[in-house]
């Protein structure tokens, strides 16, 4: 099957390559900007210029928001379906050993599209736009190249056994759904059926061929994952060999090393372009292998059939100019992107480091002990979460209830401070901390004054919660305005702080955003690390504002944040971030280090 797949892929290789190049340019320069244009138009019709956090839900529940989502989903489905169907059509013709032109494939795919729209479009869309990118099997459209669960969600899930189990079950469900629905993709192209009929047939094929389907797709996954790893390893080895042969600081190595770096980038681009088309071809082979019944295959139109079509003739007359122009633009586009990945790095050597909920790897989070360990680790800040008790005492606590800490569903807001002070806040972490209490903010301010700065996250849990006012009073009482910053997911709470004491810096925590967040009335943005892009950094820095990122616990993500130039990294592992900071500047590591690092960065960040 692998041999057939590769032979079929080569049969119409030129058409596939041209299509992927042209389509990725269309997505980058037309479809993605079009989506943002539509969102902004719908937002402005409601008088909204920035959507963040909970505002997404509020907007999404309005008639305008529902209409916006409907339009975006239809456009996304059409964009993704056309790409998949064109590739599947070319694979189908290659399987039949028939040459195909790109324009023929596109027109036939548009002819199939109306039959795909309906209930069947939901599973088809989920396969290509959500499940495929999430499980990393290679079915990733140009519109959605990759999809990951935000780190802040996985970090929280991994803190409990139940969370880990839920995470595992989630992916098991995704994989099962993928196996049940995936054969609908070749069937809707090959057979004259609607999307929902193809989904039903795919389920039947899955039921009768579970083991075979699992083995086929597992082999594919292993091969696709090892392709980039193998290529990266080969070129890294070549760079080391050249360095040993000619000397790391020699001009010959500088030239040859740069040449092989360029060759690696070209190989990487080609692999990126052909991964999905090869998977589509492989999927068609699986479909034919498992299909045990005779079907009425589609009678596709040919170039001759379309000759009477005025639009077809117009496209055909301009096709060569368009293809050649697209090739030139693609070369420039990928060249600029590669240059930015390799050279456009803003190493922020003096970036500050914040211990997330104190040193939460060494002690119970949001405890006096975690603050003390954060001081020992020489963190610049300790991030803490604060809530008010029933009698409005400000205490350190993150969750909405005590289930994770004390195995009960009581909420801090429903307990008096006297009741809260009796809760064991340490045993859940380690018996060594048995008897550790939930501290008040006042006790933490006393403990940290002059030793470590605090990032105080406001978590208002009650209606008309006085949390912001009470926190400001405590900060002013201990004259720590210059030793704290205040953050929150609740924008209104931050505005209360700004009114009460403008000298205290406030930061808005963002888990999702659309629009111009730089116009928000805050001193800095605290963004989930996957949201941090160079555009956000430049916009905030141009206004003299900072960007903090959370929660960064891996060397790879720390390197990315440093290269973007963030101002503060929030982490559970302060020593790791400090170690990455010490080795962040590539100018200090010579030509070999630069070339090896460039190869790794291209493989990680140069999404084509």
Cα–Cα distances in angstroms (integers) from residue 165 to residues 128, 173, 177, in the given order: 25, 12, 18
Residue 377 CB burial class (10 angstroms; 0-12, 13-18, ≥19):
buried
Q: Say how far apart CA 474 and CA 416 lie, in whole Å.
A: 19
φ, ψ for residue 54, nearest 5 deg: -65, -20
| Strand 394-396 to 381-388 pairing | antiparallel
* Count of residues making up the chain: 608
Question: What does 432-494 look like in DSSP terms, one character per residue?
Answer: GGTT----BHHHHHHHHTTT-EEEEEE---STT--HHHHHHHHHHHTT-GGGEEEEES-HHHH
Decide if 561 contacts 529 (C-beta within 8 A). Answer: yes
CA distances from 600 to 230, 353, 577, 605 (A): 12, 25, 19, 9
Q: Is residue 398 flagged as an active site residue? A: yes
541 classed as catalytic: no
DSSP annotation of 362: T
Of 95, 398, 541, 548, which is the active-site residue? 398
The answer to whether residues 453 and 482 touch, using CB atoms and an 8 Å cutoff, is: no
Alpha helices of 46-95 — where are they, by DSSP H? 55-60, 63-95
User: How is 540-552 classified by DSSP, letter by letter?
Assistant: HHHTT-EEEEE--
Q: Rounded to the nearest 10 degrees, what angle do helices 63-95 and 251-290 cross at?
A: 90
Catalytic residue positions, numbered:
356, 398
């Amino acid at each position: 099957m692998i041999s057939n797949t590769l032979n079929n892929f080569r049969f119409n290789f030129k058409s596939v390559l041209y299509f992927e190049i042209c389509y990725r340019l269309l997505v980058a320069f037309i479809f993605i900007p079009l989506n943002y244009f539509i969102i902004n138009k719908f937002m402005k019709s409601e008088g909204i210029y920035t959507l963040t956090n909970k505002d997404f839900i509020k907007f999404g529940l309005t008639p305008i928001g529902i209409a916006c989502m409907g339009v975006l989903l239809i456009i996304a489905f059409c964009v993704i379906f056309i790409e998949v169907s064109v590739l599947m059509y070319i694979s189908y013709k290659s399987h039949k050993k028939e040459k195909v032109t790109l324009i023929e494939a596109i027109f036939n795919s548009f002819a199939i599209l109306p039959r795909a729209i309906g209930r069947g479009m939901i599973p088809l869309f989920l396969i290509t736009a959500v499940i495929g990118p999430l499980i990393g099997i290679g079915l990733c459209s140009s519109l959605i190249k990759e999809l990951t669960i935000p780190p802040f969600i996985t970090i929280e899930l991994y803190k409990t056994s139940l969370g880990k189990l839920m995470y595992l079950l989630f992916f098991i469900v995704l994989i099962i759904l993928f196996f049940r629905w995936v054969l609908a993709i070749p069937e809707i192209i090959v057979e004259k059926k609607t999307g929902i009929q193809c989904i039903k047939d795919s389920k039947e094929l899955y039921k009768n061929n579970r083991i075979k389907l699992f083995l086929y797709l597992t082999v594919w996954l292993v091969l696709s994952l090892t392709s980039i790893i193998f290529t990266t390893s080969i070129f890294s080895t070549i760079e080391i060999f050249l360095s040993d042969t000619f000397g790391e600081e020699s001009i010959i190595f500088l030239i040859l090393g740069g040449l092989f770096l360029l060759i690696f980038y070209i190989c990487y681009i080609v692999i990126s372009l052909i991964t999905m088309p090869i998977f589509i071809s492989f999927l068609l082979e699986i479909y034919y292998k498992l299909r045990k019944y005779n079907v009425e295959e589609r009678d596709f139109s040919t170039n001759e059939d379309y000759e009477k079509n005025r639009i077809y003739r117009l496209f055909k007359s301009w096709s060569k100019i368009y293809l050649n122009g697209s090739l030139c633009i693609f070369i420039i586009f990928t060249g600029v992107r590669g240059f930015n990945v390799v050279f456009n790095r803003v190493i922020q050597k003096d970036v500050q480091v914040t211990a997330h909920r104190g040193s939460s790897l060494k002690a119970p989070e949001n405890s006096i002990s975690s603050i003390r360990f954060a001081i020992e680790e020489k963190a610049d800040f300790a991030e803490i979460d604060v809530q008010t008790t029933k009698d409005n005492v400000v205490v350190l606590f993150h969750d909405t209830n005590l289930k994770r800490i004390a195995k009960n569903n009581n909420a801090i807001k429903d307990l008096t401070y006297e009741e809260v002070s009796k809760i064991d806040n340490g045993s859940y972490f380690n018996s060594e901390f048995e008897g550790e209490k939930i501290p008040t903010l006042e006790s933490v301010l006393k403990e940290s004054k002059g030793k470590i700065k605090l990032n105080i996250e406001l978590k208002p849990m009650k209606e008309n919660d006085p949390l912001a006012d009470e926190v400001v009073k405590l900060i002013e009482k201990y004259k720590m305005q210059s030793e704290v910053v205040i953050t929150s997911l609740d924008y209104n709470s931050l505005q209360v702080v700004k009114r009460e004491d403008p000298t205290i810096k406030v930061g808005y925590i963002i888990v999702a955003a659309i629009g111009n967040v730089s116009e928000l009335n805050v001193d800095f943005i605290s963004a989930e690390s996957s949201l941090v892009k160079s555009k956000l950094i430049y916009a905030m820095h141009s206004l003299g504002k900072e960007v903090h990122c959370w929660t960064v616990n891996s060397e790879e993500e720390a390197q990315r944040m440093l290269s973007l130039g963030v101002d503060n990294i929030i982490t559970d592992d302060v020593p790791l971030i400090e170690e990455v900071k010490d080795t962040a500047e590539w100018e200090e590591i010579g030509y070999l280090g630069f070339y090896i690092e460039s190869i790794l960065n291209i493989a990680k960040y140069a999404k084509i």
